[in-house]
Amino acid sequence: MSLFSTTYDVIVVGGGHAGSEAAAASANMGAHTLLITMSLQNIAQMSCNPAMGGIAKGQIVREIDALGGYSAIVTDKTAIQFKMLNKSKGPAMWSPRAQSDRMRFAEEWRNMLEKTDNLDFYQDSVNGLLFDGDTIVGVKTALGLEIKARSVIVTAGTFLNGLIHIGEKTFGGGRAGESASTGITEDLVAKGFESGRMKTGTPPRVDARSLDFSKMTEQPGDENPQKFSYSPETKPLTKQRSCYLTYTNPEVHELLREGFDRSPMFNGRIQSVGPRYCPSVEDKIDRFASKERHQMFIEPEGWNTVEIYVNGFSTSLPEDVQDKAIRSVEGFENVKFLRYGYAIEYDYFPPTQLRHTLETKMIKGLYFAGQINGTTGYEEAASQGLMAGINAALKIQKKDPFILKRNEAYIGVLIDDLITKGTDEPYRMFTSRAEYRTLLRQDNADLRLTPRSFEIGLASIDRMDRVIQKKEKTALLLDFLTKFSVKKEVINPILERKDLALVSQSMKLFKIATRPQLNFDDLMAIPELKAFVSENNMDAEIIEQAEIQLKYSGYIEKEKNNADKLNRLENVSIPSSFDYNKVQSISFEAREKLNKIKPISISQASRISGVTPSDISVLLVYMGR
């Protein structure tokens, strides 16, 4: 079929992490999908650090996997190191993170997309959108093609009117070596959309052969690494590459300060807002002037490359300043640069202009995902792409939208935060943003989300069968722990080895297992437990799940009760045509915010900045509640 005569169900603009997940999701749900990208060689490129996951971000990657996305599988297949962060804390804080082989990551993504049915590819730059009144009908490309579609998902990353800064040099670009995208912003603003500018940055890449790693602290992966995907298609790493840790120092800081007068951040050329939680090195030494050193993580870009990512040294200072300053870092005395750090400014659209489905309020069939919505990070982008792809397909199929609540997923928290509160700085996910993080653990994303994804036709029957088996085996193990009494002669030697209080009589095993100082590895010395686990083929995942549910049952139950209360307010829906101007008893600020955001429920309305509890009470009374 010709591009000129085909009307696609979904066109995805941009082949980054958001675009790749969007294209995969819509195609796997049966929508005829076209992925348009400026470079087919750069699909899902890791533009910044060569890693996936981290605190809260790792939970998002596992949620993407549980829903049927590709990010976790690609990460597992191309990882060079794996770590479970925060293991010293409770399971709500455990966060998986993997270093990736950057070239293999992009290659594997492309391989997986090319094996996806219903998905076509086209290399070109989209420089305009086609509308019929308040409905999207296609896109215009730089070559002059007009390609028709029933829906369009824009995932433009940092490319919309992108501007790169290195010292006093400024030039257009979406990232190093690639041109910016123009035209889309202008078309959207002409339609009445509000746009803004944001900034992000990236550190230098250097040659590993020029570094002295003996002066740094080695950072190996976990001794027994896990993996991201719940699928048996991937396996944990059997070998890993180490990262390294070093630090800046007062001499480095002084050399960097000498270049501040030529820094685009300080001389006014960059006026947009950068990521608060991933600041540039010049920002760090300016804001934290009393701090004598800052961490630098030295991260290899792959198995067989000498390219090193200098995490913690993001900068847009002039090249000579970067070069001079970094040589005063331990181990960098003879460094050779492969490329210098830079900052990039780009257009975004405040996400309060979106619905929970990520469809725009003003234009039917038009969806935004990723950095265009003011977020930062591969994981946040990928999750939005997945949800936009799902909802675009569902809308074409005339099915109900797929929306995740705040107590169901970090993805639900992310999207609700964006469309309810908006953001005027690059948004990054943290565990602290989720009020139900005990429910939203990385270990149970499949239990939470795979059944829901299976219902809409994305998660496979094999995935669903594994979730059912995991639930059944976990329940079976918990039942055994509840019913089995362990003799004092068996359990006391185990307690003694852990220097814990002994028992004076036989006791139900679950009472012993709830002791925080004991874990299942200790209890596996009980012959009956070991035999039961073996007979029922219970792997480490089942044991971990049972242990968490047992030890944290009180906290889990409390959060479930709180979530149920929230959901009762979620069920009090507000019609999209509701006129807040008629409700005179609410404050002027609340009326202004409610008219702008148009919340779909009382619960969402209560989370809008400027809407008070008394305003919510008035609305509840007005709606007969």
Q: List, for residues 541-594, the tens digit of each pLDDT value.
A: 999 999 999 999 888 998 888 888 777 877 888 888 888 988 888 888 888 889
Compute and round to an integer the Cα radius of gyration of the chain. Answer: 26
pLDDT at position 625 is 56
pLDDT at position 277 is 65
Cβ-Cβ contacts under 8 Å for 247 (sequence gap 6 or more): 293, 294, 295, 296, 329, 330
**Alpha-carbon dihedral sign for residues 432, 434, 438, 441:** negative
CA distances from 445 to 56, 385, 538 (A): 12, 18, 19
pLDDT at position 297 is 97
Q: Look at strands 33-37 and 119-123 and give their pairing.
A: parallel
297-350 pLDDT, tens per residue?
Answer: 999 999 999 999 999 999 999 999 999 999 999 999 999 999 999 999 999 999
Question: Could you say which residues of the chain have pLDDT below 70?
Answer: 1, 267, 277, 624-625
pLDDT at position 151 is 98
77 sits in which H/E element: helix 71-78
User: For residue 13, what are the β-bridge partners?
Assistant: 36, 154
With b for 16 or more beta-carbon neighbours within 10 A and e for fewer, the 250-279 pattern comes to eebbebbbebeeebbbbeebbebebbeebb
pLDDT at position 578 is 87
pLDDT at position 1 is 62
The residue among 374, 392, 389 whose CA lies nearest residue 20 is 389
Task: Measure the CA–CA gap between 101 and 83, rounded to whole angstroms.
Answer: 15
pLDDT at position 30 is 97
Kindly give the residue spans of alpha helices, DSSP state H, lying in 457-587.
461-483, 488-497, 509-513, 520-523, 527-535, 540-551, 553-570
